[in-house]
Amino acid sequence: MPTITKIIEVTTDTKGAYYRKDFFNPPGPFGMTVKGLKAELLSPADTTITGTIDFSEADSNPHNHPHDFKISTGEQISLGEWKLGAGKNILVASGQTSPVQSNTAVRFEVRGTI
């Protein structure tokens, strides 16, 4: 089965918040299962992010429920399995650092199979 991997990196603003909307579209007319959705907080040290991630088809069919998560610097977590339809799929990630830290780097890795 073909596998597609996409890396999405976000950086927090001056208030320690981030919001990112990105498209993830499988090739051709086939749906996809995302079995490897991971988040990693890269920097700075001694920081925690509380966030939400939502991954659904643009027309909400299928619609996946958002997942809340909490991650600390240097930690990598799995954010579950997601079913996506053929066509436009939207990943929305948002979160807030604690303590408030600008320029905090977070990486999401999306790995899907058709």
* Averaged pLDDT, 47-66: 82
* Averaged pLDDT, 23-40: 82
* Averaged pLDDT, 25-38: 81
* Averaged pLDDT, 49-77: 85
For the chain, what are the domain ranges? 3-113
Contact predicate 77/39, CB 8 Å: yes
Which strand (E) or helix (H) includes residue 62? Answer: none
Which CATH code of 2.60.420, 1.10.1760, 3.40.50, 2.60.120 fits the domain covering 3-113? 2.60.120
pLDDT at 62 over 60: no
Other beta carbons within 10 Å of 58:
12
* Averaged pLDDT, 90-109: 93
pLDDT bin (cut points 50, 70, 90) of residue 34 is: confident
- Report the C-alpha gap between 90 and 54 in whole angstroms: 8
Q: Among 16-25, 30-39, 65-74, name the one with the lowest average pLDDT.
A: 30-39
pLDDT bin (cut points 50, 70, 90) of residue 60 is: low
pLDDT at 95 over 60: yes
Q: Which residues contact 33 (CB under 8 A, 6 or more apart)?
A: 81, 82, 83, 84, 112, 113
